[in-house]
Structure 1
């Protein structure tokens, strides 16, 4: 079908208030907003300031009341434990009510904080929705996060209660959460009053009398008694949650999400961006600890009356590289949303997609969405070829909560250009500027900025840090939000994200994109994934260094492939890149959400002081990177 994108984007641009007023009608308000946007409120203005609602009511009660009580709301599938469970909207509401009742018994009231430190289990979603129901502000910290970093988040958010589980289950190990949590509470200056802990069969945690309470005892009892809690009336501008982006040292950065704008924006995206109808299954293969998990595991599908998925497994190894295909066939998944890293892992393990032949994914799957880091054209092309469905890259940030740029499938998809997440979504006026904040011409690289105000669903501020919000995002380019990403917009208004502004390297005065070089490396037939960093160089300022992971079954010598790679960059980008260092490694260091830790790799290569990132998936990989650099004399 012909895309309505241009018409819809222009309707937003010509009258933003009318556009978002119309979108807000999709939400059940207690007090419908009369004021759509107040430019005088908050750091840069606030959305729907006189409206009131309850996010949990919009996610659950209204669907139960309107005929979806027996429809699947949440699918829980755990290949690491062999457990599967489907919750209907009515069952999920009953579970949420039970946890909400327990939190109320603990004395949690509107505005209190509740920290959630849980693995990828249904109870994590249930706990979060229970907070939203009673007006408590939830702060999810990735399960298994190190004690020191967890302590900084406890100090900053000052939670009254912590929801946790005894362990997270990995393919080859059990991660004990309770000792990490106990140590974090010990380190923290702020002490939670109570801990509600879910004991998992794989690990029985030790309980501290008077502080720790068993989920199995209290929640199961509340469920048996069919306890209910009335949804709290919240202002649209009241915080729904705090999500920390970084901060292993000093005060962490807590992104705040409000209730009203968040609900309006996410509901709008399900139909218009993702093309999902109520009742369909939309699977975001992420973690509830990350923003994708907040937006597209916990909230968006439920606001829309669709079905969401909580998956406790990996793209490979649980049990094999066909894990995703099994899920899609079994649950009739219409759209999958994951990180490019996941597909690179599947491709490395199963380059010819042999496992895919065992499953019928074409029966339900319409679209694959990628986000989280740059989707290199080679991975996109492979996914298109093996799946036979559109592969849609889109770009957003923890701070924005939903896509800044994308290809709006629900409005009619635009032509895909490999390497681009397509075009700005309604709400976002994306511009490319130079260091003096002057606009640059089409096709020229610069800093990517968004004209204020940011649309609904974006962060209104940082938790208790309005000044830091301004300093971090709004000062460098007055009137604009600084994304800290670099890239360009082409003549068709397609956006290209070439890396963080920190990843643009300066080689003898030439500003070069590491993303552009990675595209070249990834195009080599033997390369499964890669990363390029800039390494200090006395003569040139910086020189590029490429790390490459080879596909399974490659028999050629790594030295020969490294020579190929150096020649390939010279042929495709030219001598200006001064690309001379290619290093084959067994694997790349990544966060548990799949982002490659290029910044830490650069510090190691530059012999600068560095600390082990709190979110790293496997710390042993850093030793491998150090050894590889040493072997090359870097």
Structure 2
């Protein structure tokens, strides 16, 4: 299971092969993983006309991540390092030890009737047991859906009703800095409100908070593990789902991104060397939560499939205990590559602008810093580069793709960086910038970022039980292309610049959240006649939502009161991750004559970005009024003092 990147002399050669002969290229990459049965065909289309990879192949993702390495000389190598400054714990697990834990927990799930094709929801903090649960599901051929620990009950209910899990796995609490967040009350409310009722929950009792257990339904993690017998990996088809990961949709109903077993394993194995430049045995750290796409791909699956040591970090880049915690972990564990979000670097920069904490640590092992999750602004890029004196690699991908779409592919030799650009298209992705009519735009013209079909392996083949929505969301706008939902442009050298979402999904500290869903909540307030929620630029978080509300006639509620009530509503329904902090009362909203709210212009006003007044606007004077209101409230980057 070694890498095939050496087959090609350069990025240009590998990329050209991947676009001109995708079956040949990905057939080579498929030979780098251990199949139980080799694929019969590399690329096919299914009954819906959707592209599928590696038809007829049989494999098991947990086998690739653990058993394969135990059988091939890595049994005593460290598979996972759990570093938790919030609990003052560091624990290392060998591949053999972790394989045995996963096999046993898979046996516990099997004992509860979980088998191939069943679904399991995992609602846990960033702890080894969460990774064990994911891999145990994969071992059985069951489909896991990880929900970010601490997500509000409403969001959890929606996911439980959509995935219909046989079992929910959770823990008694998560930890935010020095505060314990009880999970069980959130889970109980979600289960109480859900139409679908799982047969059992398995609760890991952490010593900091003891959860109340409901007899019959709730089972203790330690108890079920003690009674379990280990089970062997179950062969699954390449097209069988490995997991569902929910991402915000513009309708407010989350979209269940499906990841298949075959394409996922091949793409992630390829990416570790080709994109990130790491070899088996290296220490790789994706500073993410298991609930996000990065946590799935690059905290759990990719490093383990590649035979690396992965770092599982329970904490924050600051205040656990200080802004030097990232540098301590890198030095202590000999991390070769750190992958994090620009938000994390901005948080460290905010607390330690001069990089004083970094001076305490010598980091000879660190070769690359990769950034993704939201656009990396040039100021953050240069700060990190000057501080660490290593290549800082901005790159871009989505929950839907599951692995990088645009990057500087380190495995083929580092190209010159262009701050503000995410790099060049990754092998397999024919990225194009399209105009309104689907025409390809010339360099430097901003348009829709789209990918010519077929998408490479590892990308979503469809949405969970919703082929129609998959087609309408991603394929309908430009026939023959995958519509990314982002806008951007390509320069004359082929470098791609991603400028942000073209729909109403915003990116708050790497969390994709629907402003449409927030609007529905704001509009439900009894004093609100109509509203708009837009994402504005935020130096720390990338984006954050603000609300503009028009009151019903006769309402005399103060701006301060309605703001506090709306903050509380959104916090309860979505959670603190939404970072909704401002609501502004306005006389009216800017609209076209047909009644469409001009949300992009509202964003531009708040961000201080130049905009052209559209000819279709019904009353241009309202734009000046909103500008003045934002300025008075000091909302938006253009008005910070």
Q: Is the 8 A contact 1:72 1:88 kept in 2?
A: yes
Query: Distance in 2 between the 1:360 and 1:266 partners?
Result: 30
Per the TM alignment, residue 502 of structure 1 is displaced from its structure 2 partner at its CA by: 3.9
SS of aligned partner of 2:50: coil
Are positions 1:380 and 2:381 aligned together?
Answer: yes
Q: Which residue of 2 aligns with 1:508?
A: none
Q: Which residue of 2 aligns with 1:89?
A: 95
Show the 5 A alignment for 1:291-440: 291-361=293-363, 363-440=364-441
Unaligned regions of 5+ residues in structure 1, if any? Answer: 505-513, 516-532, 534-541, 550-587
1:523-550 CA deviation, whole Å, 9 max, x = no partner?
xxxxxxxxxx9xxxxxxxx9x997666x
SS of aligned partner of 1:439: coil
SS of aligned partner of 2:450: strand
Q: Which residue of 2 aligns with 1:119?
A: 125
Show the 5 A alignment for 1:545-556: none
Q: Is the 8 A contact 1:9 1:426 kept in 2?
A: yes
Per the TM alignment, residue 123 of structure 1 is displaced from its structure 2 partner at its CA by: 0.5
Q: Which residue of 1 aligns with 2:543?
A: 596
* Equivalent position to 2:206, from 168, 185, 200: 200
* Equivalent position to 1:132, from 138, 142, 146: 138
Bigger CA drift: 31-40 or 65-74?
31-40
Q: Is the 8 A contact 1:44 1:452 kept in 2?
A: no
Per the TM alignment, residue 632 of structure 1 is displaced from its structure 2 partner at its CA by: 2.8
1:386-424 CA deviation, whole Å, 9 max, x = no partner?
100000000000000000000011111111011111100
Q: Is the 8 A contact 1:487 1:496 kept in 2?
A: yes
Q: Which residue of 1 aligns with 2:555?
A: none
1:484-503 CA deviation, whole Å, 9 max, x = no partner?
11111111100011111248
Distance 1:179 1:402, change over 3 A: same
Q: Which residue of 2 aligns with 1:442?
A: 443
* Equivalent position to 1:181, from 187, 190, 213: 187
Query: Distance in 2 between the 1:111 and 1:43 partners?
Result: 23
Q: Is the 8 A contact 2:345 2:380 kept in 1?
A: yes
SS of aligned partner of 2:24: helix
Show the 5 A alignment for 1:217-296: 217-222=223-228, 227-246=229-248, 251-296=253-298
Q: Is the 8 A contact 1:95 1:126 kept in 2?
A: yes
Query: Distance in 1 between the 2:304 and 2:243 partners?
Result: 17
Query: Distance in 1 between the 2:12 and 2:338 partners?
Result: 25
Per the TM alignment, residue 219 of structure 1 is displaced from its structure 2 partner at its CA by: 1.4
Are positions 1:491 and 2:492 aligned together?
Answer: yes
1:556-578 CA deviation, whole Å, 9 max, x = no partner?
xxxxxxxxxxxxxxxxxxxxxxx
Distance 1:322 1:269, change over 3 A: same
1:195-243 CA deviation, whole Å, 9 max, x = no partner?
1110000000011111111112221454xxxx32111110000000000
Q: Which residue of 2 aligns with 1:171?
A: 177
Query: Distance in 1 between the 2:577 and 2:400 partners?
Result: 26
Q: Which residue of 2 aligns with 1:147?
A: 153
Query: Distance in 1 between the 2:496 and 2:631 partners?
Result: 38
Distance 1:164 1:324, change over 3 A: same
Per the TM alignment, residue 616 of structure 1 is displaced from its structure 2 partner at its CA by: 4.8
Distance 1:132 1:111, change over 3 A: same
Query: Distance in 2 between the 1:421 and 1:349 partners?
Result: 26
Are positions 1:460 and 2:466 aligned together?
Answer: no
Q: Is the 8 A contact 1:156 1:252 kept in 2?
A: no
SS of aligned partner of 2:144: strand
SS of aligned partner of 2:70: helix
Q: Is the 8 A contact 1:43 1:466 kept in 2?
A: no
Distance 1:248 1:114, change over 3 A: farther
SS of aligned partner of 1:265: helix
Are positions 1:612 and 2:570 aligned together?
Answer: yes
Query: Distance in 2 between the 1:606 and 1:351 partners?
Result: 40
Distance 1:306 1:99, change over 3 A: same
SS of aligned partner of 2:543: coil
- Number of residue pairs matched? 547
SS of aligned partner of 1:441: coil
SS of aligned partner of 2:259: strand
Query: Distance in 2 between the 1:604 and 1:97 partners?
Result: 52
Query: Distance in 2 between the 1:250 and 1:292 partners?
Result: 22
Query: Distance in 2 between the 1:492 and 1:479 partners?
Result: 25
Query: Distance in 2 between the 1:365 and 1:437 partners?
Result: 43
SS of aligned partner of 1:256: strand
Q: Which residue of 2 aligns with 1:69?
A: 75
Query: Distance in 2 between the 1:489 and 1:412 partners?
Result: 21
Query: Distance in 2 between the 1:633 and 1:195 partners?
Result: 47
Query: Distance in 1 between the 2:480 and 2:341 partners?
Result: 31
TM-score (norm 2): 0.81
Per the TM alignment, residue 13 of structure 1 is displaced from its structure 2 partner at its CA by: 1.9
Q: Which residue of 2 aligns with 1:526?
A: none
Distance 1:623 1:503, change over 3 A: closer
Q: Is the 8 A contact 1:3 1:413 kept in 2?
A: no
TM-score (norm 1): 0.82
Distance 1:99 1:545, change over 3 A: closer
SS of aligned partner of 1:308: strand
Per the TM alignment, residue 38 of structure 1 is displaced from its structure 2 partner at its CA by: 0.5
Query: Distance in 2 between the 1:249 and 1:495 partners?
Result: 29
Unaligned regions of 5+ residues in structure 2, if any? Answer: 1-5, 508-514, 516-531, 553-565, 586-628, 636-641
Query: Distance in 2 between the 1:606 and 1:352 partners?
Result: 44
Per the TM alignment, residue 15 of structure 1 is displaced from its structure 2 partner at its CA by: 1.0
Query: Distance in 1 between the 2:386 and 2:423 partners?
Result: 20
